[in-house]
């Protein structure tokens, strides 16, 4: 085979596979939006659900979703990034570190229902947090940590050694080097981890089902039970309660994710521009 045809095949494969990915996305998102958008009315956005969710809106559930996701991200981000920094910058590449990393990866493949059961046994019962925003958020935190740590570590690895050397040779401490030179280079990697983790947190049902309770009332504190949109969606769909509300909820969820991702990307673009 000559180079021309090899090239042609190569580009054909790359482009068609990329197109395939895009088409499946359009199919899924389009399917949900077409079926769901008509159901998103101001009433739907501003009212509480009634008749088991068959009627009314989902305001308390939107709020609940934001609470839980926020708790998960606010706790997971510093811990995840710090742990990645520890594993990549501080610890020697010892057996025990490799073990921890290994187990963290294994956990990424454990079904979320198990995290749910763990969260129930540990946070809800043992720590006495009850079914609450906090219990759910903490369970999600543990679930998204592996993704976050992995993404952060990968981008830490790509920062050239010469930057570290440059900074340290100027008498900067390790921490200063990390904060001022290394992390700014990793922003986009950390952000990727966050977006992936957040996606996982927002879309999760099994883990929250057992830890946040699923109450449809408006949560007023971190210790109140609540329901997330994904869980609501799951209940509506699996109990066959209302097809219209199911799709409306799904469509709204997609729109929210889209908005959050856009904001995150915009923030990172600004940050990169600044430096």
Binding positions for another protein, 139-158, rule CB under 8 A: 142, 145-147, 149-151, 154-155, 157-158
Summary count for the chain: helices (H), strands (E): 12, 2
According to the binding rule CB under 8 A, does residue 1 interact with another protein? no
Phi, psi of 198 (to 5 degrees): -65, -40
Nearest by Cα to 65 from 237, 242, 256, 239: 256
Residues 108-137, interacting with another protein (CB under 8 A): 108-115, 117-118, 120-122, 124-125, 128, 130-132
Q: How far is CA 175 from CA 150, 172, 249, in A?
A: 20, 8, 44
CA angle 256, 261, 265 (to 5 degrees): 150
Give least dist CB 235 to another protein, A. 6
Determine the interface stretch with another protein among 38-46, 55-63, 101-109 (rule: CB under 8 A): 101-109
Least CB distance to another protein at residue 246 (A) = 8
Contacting another protein within 57-76 (CB under 8 A): none
From candidates 44, 60, 67, 87, binder to another protein by CB under 8 A: 87
Query: Is residue 51 within the footprint of another protein (CB under 8 A)?
Result: yes
User: What is the per-residue binding string for another protein in 168-197, x denoting contact by CB under 8 A?
Assistant: xxxxxxxxx---xx--xx--xx--x--xx-
Residues in contact with another protein, shown as a per-residue x/- string from 218 to 257 under the rule CB under 8 A: -----x-x---xxx-xxxxxxxxx----x---x--xx--x
Look-up: residue for tokens 């659900």? Answer: 49
72 or 260: whose CB is closer to another protein? Answer: 260
Residues 106 and 175 sit within 8 Å (Cβ to Cβ): no
CA distance 12 to 49: 49
- 168 CB-contact burial (10 Å; exposed 0-12 / middle 13-18 / buried 19+): middle
């Amino acid at each position: 085979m000559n180079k021309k045809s090899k090239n042609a095949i190569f580009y054909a494969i790359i482009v068609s596979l990329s197109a395939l990915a895009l088409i499946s996305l359009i199919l899924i998102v389009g399917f949900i939006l077409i079926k769901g958008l008509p159901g998103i009315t101001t009433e739907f956005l501003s009212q509480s659900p009634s008749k088991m969710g068959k009627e009314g809106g989902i305001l308390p559930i939107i709020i609940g979703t934001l609470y839980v996701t926020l708790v998960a991200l606010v706790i997971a981000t510093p811990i995840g990034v710090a742990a990645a920094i520890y594993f990549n910058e501080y610890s020697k590449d010892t057996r025990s570190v490799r073990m921890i990393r290994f187990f963290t990866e294994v956990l990424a493949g454990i079904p979320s229902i198990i995290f749910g059961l763990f969260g129930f046994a540990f946070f809800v019962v043992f720590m006495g947090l009850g079914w609450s925003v906090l219990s759910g958020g903490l369970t999600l935190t543990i679930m998204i940590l592996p993704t976050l740590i992995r993404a952060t570590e990968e981008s830490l690895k790509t920062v050239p050694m010469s930057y570290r050397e440059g900074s340290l040779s100027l008498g900067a401490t390790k921490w200063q080097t990390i904060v001022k030179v290394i992390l700014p280079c990793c922003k986009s990697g950390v952000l990727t981890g966050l977006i992936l983790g957040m996606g996982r947190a927002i879309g999760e049902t099994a883990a929250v089902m057992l830890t946040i309770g699923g109450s449809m009332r408006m949560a007023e504190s971190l210790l109140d039970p609540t329901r997330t949109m994904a869980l609501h969606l799951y209940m509506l769909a699996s109990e066959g309660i209302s097809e219209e509300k199911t799709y409306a909820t799904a469509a709204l969820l997609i729109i929210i994710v889209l908005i959050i991702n856009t904001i995150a990307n915009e923030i990172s673009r600004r940050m990169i521009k600044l430096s």
